[in-house]
Amino acid sequence: MSITTYGLQDIKKEIQHLSQGQLAELCLRLARYKKENKELLAYLLFDANNEHAFIEKIKAEVGFMFSQLPSQNYAAAKSIRKILRLINKYVKFIGSKQAEIELLINFCYNYLQYTDRRTSYKPLRLILIRQVEKIRSQIQKLHEDLQFDYNHEYNSLLTEAGKKFPWFYQNDYLL
């Protein structure tokens, strides 16, 4: 025996036939089972109406987490990956390419500020390179006007990274 999994269209049609009380009960029941569902529901109820303030709150939390970064390379890489998981979760909640670019650029600036410039630990270096490549690809997906707005910030990030890290070749990542 297997349980049938319905598509979103079927679920949407069925939800339209429910009363408000039944719908609220279903949402609470769904939130009870997974922490991420609860966090998404909390975002949609309390923070979705002021996206800018939510992004600033995330930036502050990321800055605090970077300030607590351990000095050992392996532990620092683990902590930075944890920060990236947090950012990706919140980006999924927001669902905006501009918010993703803004948060990733902020992540890279924090990376530049808090990581050791002399590190030769390859996994730690690859984290920055992957995020820069991700930012570049996300900017290219935006409308031309928005691309122009983010190009300056992206290029200044590349310049700063090139100055701080001898292993970072900014010309490889220019738009």
Domain boundaries, the chain: 8-49, 51-172
> pLDDT tens track of the chain, all 175 residues?
577 888 889 888 888 888 999 888 888 888 888 888 888 888 888 888 999 999 999 999 999 999 999 989 999 999 999 999 999 999 999 999 999 999 999 999 999 999 988 878 899 999 999 999 999 999 999 888 888 889 999 999 999 999 998 888 888 888 7
pLDDT the model gives residue 14: 86
Helix H, strand E, coil C: the string for the chain is CCCCCCCHHHHHHHHCCCCHHHHHHHHHHHHHHCHHHHHHHHHHHHHCCCHHHHHHHHHHHHHHHHHCCCCCHHHHHHHHHHHHHHHHHHHHHHCCHHHHHHHHHHHHHHHHHHCCCCCCCHHHHHHHHHHHHHHHHHHHHCCHHHHHHHHHHHHHHHHHHHHHCCCCCHHHCCC
pTM of the prediction?
0.87
